[in-house]
Amino acid sequence: MNGIICEEVGRLVWKEDLPEPVLEAGQAIVSIRRVGICGTDLHAYRGQQPFFSYPRILGHELSGVIEQIGENEKGLRVGDIVSVVPYMHCGKCSACRSGKTNCCQHMQVFGVHIDGGMRERVLLPISHLIGTQGLTLDQSAILEPLAIGAHGIRRSGLVAGSGETVLVVGAGPIGLGIMALARYAGANVIALDINEERLAFCRDWAGVSHTINALEDAENQLNELTNGEGAPIVIDATGSVQSMQNAFGYVAHGGSLVYVGLVKQDITFNDPHFHSREMTLLGSRNATMEDFEQVRKAIAAGYIDADRYVTHRAGFAEAVGEFEHWLKPESGVIKAMIELGE
C-alpha cells in the first residue's frame, strides 16, 4: 500500500510497502480519497507542532469511501462516502463522561498522536465516521477544519440570531471558517489580519461586514467600528503569540476571548486590564459531533463555498514535493488538498 510518512522535521518520504489494514469488529476500512492539509500538518513538517513525535503518517482532514464494514447502528455500507472525526477519545475520563470528548484527557488525534490518513486505506472506528450523502468528497474532507471553527463559536457563547459583533483574528483556513459560520449564526463579523489579499477574501468569500489590517492601529480601527466599546466576542485563530496577546485589547467590557489557535510558548497579559473588563478567557480544542453537524447544515444552506476554499491541489505521489511550496506565503494557499481518486 502506498503512503507518505513524515520521517523527521522537513522530510516527507513516499512509501510503497505500508501494511494493509485488516478489518476488526466495530471498525471499517476506508479508501481515502481526499486529504486536506492544515496548519497542524505544516507545523509538524516544520517541527513546530506540540504533542508530536516522528516518524508519523500525517493527515486528519479526510474523506473517503467505505471498502469493508460489518453491520452497524449507523447504517453505513460499502460504497458510502464518509468524513472522518479524527479525535480518538477514551470514553472514560472526566471530560468524556461530561460529553467533552474533544478534550479527552487521553486524546489520540489521528495523524497527530497516531498515524493518520496519508495512505490509500485506513482502519477506523465506525463511531468516528460520518456518512456524507449529498456532499462532495471535497466538502466531506473540509468538515473537520470547519467543525473546529464551529466549536470555537459555540465556546464563545454566541447566541444565534443575536446580531452580536464577533471579531475574528486571523484569516487562515480556520479563521475563515469561523467567519462564515459566525455569519451563518447571524453575527456581525469583523475580520482582522495583516494580509490585504486575505482580507479581501474575507469580504468576498466569508461575507464579513468589515475588515481591519492589524498593521494599521487595529485597536483604533475596531473602536471606530464599535463606538469605542470593542467586540463582545473575540476569537483568535492565528497561532501567533503576539496576536494572541494583542487580542486582549480588542475585547469589550464583559466580553469573551476564545483561543482557537495553539502555540508552544507562554501567553502573558496585564491582569488589571483583564480584571477591569471582567473578561472571560476560553480555550477551544478540536470539535464534537454537534459541531460537525452544524457545519453540514451550513454547507447545505450555501454558507460554505468549498470550491473556492480549496485553492491548491496535488495528486498523491506529487504531494511530497508540494509541501515546501505550500509553506511559502507567496503561494497564496488557503486550503491545499491531496487527491487520491474519485
pLDDT at 329: 82
Determine the distance from the C-alpha atom of residue 163 to the mean position of all C-alpha atoms in its chain, rounded to a whole number: 24
Which residue from 148, 159, 146 is spatially nearest to 232, judged by alpha carbons?
A: 159
Say if residue 254 is exposed, middle or buried (CB neighbours under 10 Å; 0-12, 13-18, 19+).
Answer: exposed
pLDDT at 44: 85
Radius of gyration of the chain (CA): 20
The CA-atom distances, in angstroms, between 239 and each of 52, 105, 158, 263 are 16, 22, 22, 5
3-class DSSP assignment, residue 31: strand
Determine the distance from the C-alpha atom of residue 179 to the mean position of all C-alpha atoms in its chain, rounded to a whole number: 13
Q: Where are the domains of the chain?
A: 3-142+310-339, 149-283
Kindly give the parts of the chain with pLDDT less than 50: none
Q: What CATH number does domain 3-142+310-339 carry, 3.40.50.1970, 3.30.420.40, 3.40.50.300, 3.90.180.10?
A: 3.90.180.10
pLDDT at 312: 95
* pTM of the predicted protein model: 0.94
pLDDT at 224: 97
User: Which letter, b or e, does each residue of 91-122 get, where b requires 16 or more Cβ atoms within 10 Å of its Cβ?
Assistant: eebebbeeebbbbbeebebbbbbebbbbbbbb
Q: What is the pLDDT of residues 161-196, one digit of tens each?
A: 999 999 999 999 999 999 999 999 999 999 999 999
Task: Classify domain 149-283 at the CATH class level.
Answer: alpha beta
